[in-house]
Structure 1
Amino acid sequence: MSFADKLSCPGTRRGEARSNAILDAAIEVVAEVGYDRLTMDAVAQRAKASKATIYRHWPDKASLIVDAMRRRSCIDADLPDTGTLAGDLEGMVRQFLLAMSGTDGPLMVGLLAASAKDPELGALMRSQTHDDKQRAVEAVLRRARHRGELGDSVTPDLVLDVLPGALFMRLFVLGQPPDEPFVRRLVDDILIPLLTAPARQGA
């Protein structure tokens, strides 16, 4: 199986058709014009929906676009149990990579830039995207604790302080495509030593 084949998103959530059409339209419009120029009118026109329908579910464009991006995210807490911490971490890293790469990656970078000027957008993005990542990491760590691979003091923050930045650097600063050797190095040389350091295990 190629690395591209492993970057799959079986857990992508789907809702009812009308909401999906609106969320898809929001992504299309923001990709074309940017967040600053995104309007509910443009989304309604693209989705062939009324603004009243949109506002029943999303009070503003910040909540709409964050919900649209979150629906497309491949970060899922229900990752397959591989039986080892290393295997589970590799699966999680692939999910994070998929969520940050492809056409949605540059869009996420643009939204992060826009959030610096829009506190409401920034707060929603930090809350919802961080919560999704935290649940995924906690699921992996919980299994490792049950297997006796980790101590009880290890928290998701250890991973979240390091992993997103490493992936951002690889994808958007260095412009290098992800591959299996990169995933294994990230897990074997950085994440596992960080999580299993004696000071952490004995805390």
Structure 2
Amino acid sequence: MAKCVVSRRSRITPEREAELYEAVLGLLRDVGYDALTMDAVAGRTRSSKATLYRQWGSKPQLVARALRHGKPVDVSEIDTGSLRGDFHEIVARSDDARMERDSALLRGLARAVHENPDLLQALRELLIEPEMTGLDVVVQRAIDRGEVAADNPALKYMSHMLVGAFIAHPLIQDRSPDQAFLGDYIDSVVLPALGV
């Protein structure tokens, strides 16, 4: 699959870029991905569509970058000295209100990615792969410290376990995941599966 490459020719300040991303996320929450248009983003942000396309290239790229910008933490930078500590610190850096908003956004995007291969590709490149790479760094440090066996068969399913909890909790419990649930899930499911 070819990588999406966006040429950034215009000069948008970081503050203006953050404002645009917040507007995109607000529109996603309000109308969903399918109804979100570049016209609507331009209107809400007092921008021109030409600027949006020149800066981001496409709606999928803009949405994926807005989601990436909204991530509260770079997982790979967390190093508390233990895998349990790292996982709990990841959870602690996102408050319950943010998790509720993010969970609603992800549920809304779940259907859209099946119908929009460009969106799926953009999300994989800009959001999913960096997160998985960050988790790999955290887990590799745990392996290097001797906390996790390098040949543990659960390692290849770790990201599935973590993402699965985030997605399944609203379906099963009819509420968004929160810090208490995720902390307990890490201690009860993820760490035992990894032999910690």
TM-score (ref. length: structure 1): 0.76
2:183 & 2:28 partners in 1: Cα distance?
34
Q: 2:23 is aligned with what amino acid? A: A
Aligned-residue Cα RMSD (Å) equals 2.7
State the percentage of identical aligned residues: 31
Tell me which residue corresponds to 1:9: none
* Corresponding residue number in structure 2 for 1:178: 178
The equivalent position to 1:47 in structure 2, one of 45, 48, 51, is: 45
For residue 132 of structure 1, report the CA deviation from its aligned partner. 2.6
Partner of 2:83: 85
Q: Offset of 1:136 from its aligned partner?
A: 2.5
* Deviation of the 1:125 alpha carbon: 2.0
Task: Give the 3-state SS of the residue equivalent to 2:191 in structure 1.
Answer: helix
Equivalent residue for 2:121?
A: 123
Q: CA deviation at 1:172?
A: 4.3
Give, in angstroms, the shift of residue 117 of structure 1. Answer: 1.4
Matched, 1:142 2:140: yes
Instruction: Give the CA deviation at 1:25.
Output: 1.9
Q: 1:104 to 1:190 in 2, by over 3 A?
A: closer
Residue 179 of structure 1 and its aligned partner are, at CA, apart by 4.4
Contact 2:37 2:59 in 1 (8 A): yes
- Deviation larger for 64-73 or 97-106: 97-106
* Structure 2 letter corresponding to 1:138: D
State how 1:153-192 maps to structure 2 within 5 Å. 153=151, 157-176=156-175, 177-180=177-180, 182-192=181-191
Are the aligned partners of 1:79 and 1:92 in contact in 2 as well (CA < 8 Å)? no
SS in 1 for 2:75: coil
Give, in angstroms, the shift of residue 92 of structure 1.
2.8
* Gaps in structure 1 of 5+ consecutive residues: 1-14, 198-203
Aligned to 2:61: 63
Q: TM-score, normalised by structure 2?
A: 0.78
Structure with the larger helix share: 2
